[in-house]
Amino acid sequence: MNSPMIPSLRVELQQLSPADVSGIEPLYISVEWMRYCVVCESEQCFVAHERCANGLICSCSNCGDKRVVSFTRTNSDAGKWEAYT
């Protein structure tokens, strides 16, 4: 079976702008969640130990494949939520 071309973490980081990658910092508490792994072709637990401005740098707990996962929730304008309080 032919597997699709899957970019490695190094390729993903090279495609980001230097400003997004320059601030890689370790997480004090690792983050775990379930996500589909394209290498394992199944749902796997991913663990993030580092973050950058573009998202979390995580790895599959089964095969070790590393990825940059964009943040899905970001802070909105500070004034908008005050209208609801």
Mind listing the pLDDT tens digit of every residue in the chain (85 residues)?
444 555 566 666 666 655 544 578 888 888 899 989 989 999 999 999 998 888 888 999 999 988 888 877 666 555 555 555 4
Range of the domain at 49: 24-72
The number of folded domains in the chain is 1
Could you tell me if residue 5 is inside a domain? Answer: no
In the chain, where does DSSP find H-type helix?
Answer: 9-15, 18-21, 78-82
Could you tell me if residue 80 is inside a domain? Answer: no
Could you tell me if residue 64 is inside a domain? Answer: yes
Could you tell me if residue 10 is inside a domain? Answer: no
- What gap in Å lies between CA 74 and CA 78, rounded to an integer? 12
Could you tell me if residue 18 is inside a domain? Answer: no
